[in-house]
Amino acid sequence: MLVKKEDSNGIWVFAELCGGSVRKVSFELLGAARRLADAQSEKLAAVILAGDGGASEIPEEAIAFGADEVYVVEGPGYETYNTEAYCCAIATLAEKYRPSAIIIGATDLGRDLAPRLAARLRTGLTADCIDMAYNSETANIDWICPAFGGKLIVTISCPDSRPQMGTVRQGMYDLPRRSDARRGRIIAEPIPASPESSLVRVLDTVVSAAEGPDLESAQVIVAGGHGMGSAENFEKLYRLAELLGGKVAASRAPVEFGWIDEGCMIGHSGKSVSTKLYIALGISGTIQHVAGVKSDLIIAVNKDRNAPIFDIADISVVGDANEFVSALVARLEK
């Protein structure tokens, strides 16, 4: 169904469940979508799909994190993710309520669900966004995402059809403040899943071990690049991270040299982080790397005063990264 701009209202965030709880990215998106909804004077709604009774306290939680309304679809066929059932249920809701935007986390599930849903609703989808902003001149959402293999950061909008749709990476926004005093409306929508008519059957769910350390929730990251020079030098970063209570990460070059596992790579094709402190040591700062970095404070150390990493750094140190690490470790050990 084609929905026109003037016939739509309300920003929706799909609240993805994992093991019975909402994924962190969905709460982050509720916070960001709250700002979009306020900017365009629209309501913010969360959409929850779960097995019988599986939504439990989650609607109240979504309201505490910023939703005005929560659409809850519960029943057999929704306890585990099924592309067809989930897509059909959300499309049914969207056709009934006509939201102006649907925002989904760029998780494995979200990346599977969003394109199918967009096709079903005959609208556009901007995938893998790193930011969103309401454009008051066009009255559209500007979806900001890396393009051409991360060589460019582009702004995409969906000017005519509704809902506007985007998947957004985890770690792009801080968690919103939870307020249990907030009040909202919970709307139960009985949409039968009819798993027997589905072409897809979920036979088993295997939870894979997380790839590498949990960098996404680290507050401090000590990240090394090619400029660290060798595996031995790179090893020194672990002591610095330990002293700062942080984790070690890397740009792509050290991963390719085998100095560190791929699960520790930050950037467009690695992990996205949102930290209090990010120390970039011997990292040039290509767009593919910095696309994954969000931090309250960025300290960059590079021999080249023109290195692009200095464009995003709060504190820029022109010098040798190894000397910097040794000096800082010595100071912190005192």
| Smallest distance, ligand FAD to C-beta of residue 206, A | 26
328 near ligand FAD (CB under 6 A): no
269 near ligand FAD (CB under 6 A): yes
Taking the C-alpha atoms of residue 76 and residue 326, their distance in angstroms, rounded to an integer, is 58
Taking the C-alpha atoms of residue 310 and residue 312, their distance in angstroms, rounded to an integer, is 5
Judged by CB, which is closer to ligand FAD: 152, or 188? 152
Neighbours of 130 (CB within 10 A): 20
| Smallest distance, ligand FAD to C-beta of residue 100, A | 32
267 near ligand FAD (CB under 6 A): yes
Local structure of residue 222 (DSSP, 8 states): E
**302, 310, 313, 325: residue in contact with ligand FAD (rule CB under 6 A):** 302
| Smallest distance, ligand FAD to C-beta of residue 29, A | 22
Stretch that binds ligand FAD, among 15-23, 98-106, 238-246, 282-290 (CB under 6 A): 282-290
Judged by CB, which is closer to ligand FAD: 46, or 307? 307
Omega into 192 within 30° of 0, i.e. cis? no
Taking the C-alpha atoms of residue 166 and residue 173, their distance in angstroms, rounded to an integer, is 15
| Smallest distance, ligand FAD to C-beta of residue 217, A | 19
| Smallest distance, ligand FAD to C-beta of residue 127, A | 15
Taking the C-alpha atoms of residue 111 and residue 93, their distance in angstroms, rounded to an integer, is 20
**82, 270, 274, 310: residue in contact with ligand FAD (rule CB under 6 A):** 270
Judged by CB, which is closer to ligand FAD: 113, or 293? 293
- 73 closest CA partner among 161, 195, 218, 190: 190
Stretch that binds ligand FAD, among 3-11, 154-162, 206-214, 302-310 (CB under 6 A): 302-310
| Residue 133 near residue 142 (C-beta atoms within 8 A) | yes
170 near ligand FAD (CB under 6 A): no
Size of the site for ligand FAD (CB under 6 A): 29
- Which residues 6+ apart lie within 8 Å of 253 measured at CB? 225, 226
232 near ligand FAD (CB under 6 A): no
Which SS3 state, helix, strand or coil, does residue 123 take?
coil
Taking the C-alpha atoms of residue 8 and residue 43, their distance in angstroms, rounded to an integer, is 11
Local structure of residue 264 (DSSP, 8 states): G
227 near ligand FAD (CB under 6 A): yes
Taking the C-alpha atoms of residue 7 and residue 75, their distance in angstroms, rounded to an integer, is 30
> What is the biggest distance separating any 2 CA atoms in the chain, rounded to whole angstroms?
68
171 near ligand FAD (CB under 6 A): no
**8, 140, 164, 286: residue in contact with ligand FAD (rule CB under 6 A):** 286
Q: Which two tokens stand for residue 204?
A: 């088993």
149 near ligand FAD (CB under 6 A): yes
166 near ligand FAD (CB under 6 A): no
Subset of 32-71 contacting ligand FAD (CB under 6 A): none
| Smallest distance, ligand FAD to C-beta of residue 225, A | 3
284 near ligand FAD (CB under 6 A): yes
Query: Cα 317 to chain center, whole Å?
Result: 30
| Residue 29 near residue 173 (C-beta atoms within 8 A) | yes
Query: Cα 45 to chain center, whole Å?
Result: 18
Residues that bind ligand FAD (CB under 6 A): 149-150, 225-227, 229, 251-253, 265-270, 282-284, 286, 288-289, 301-304, 307, 320-322
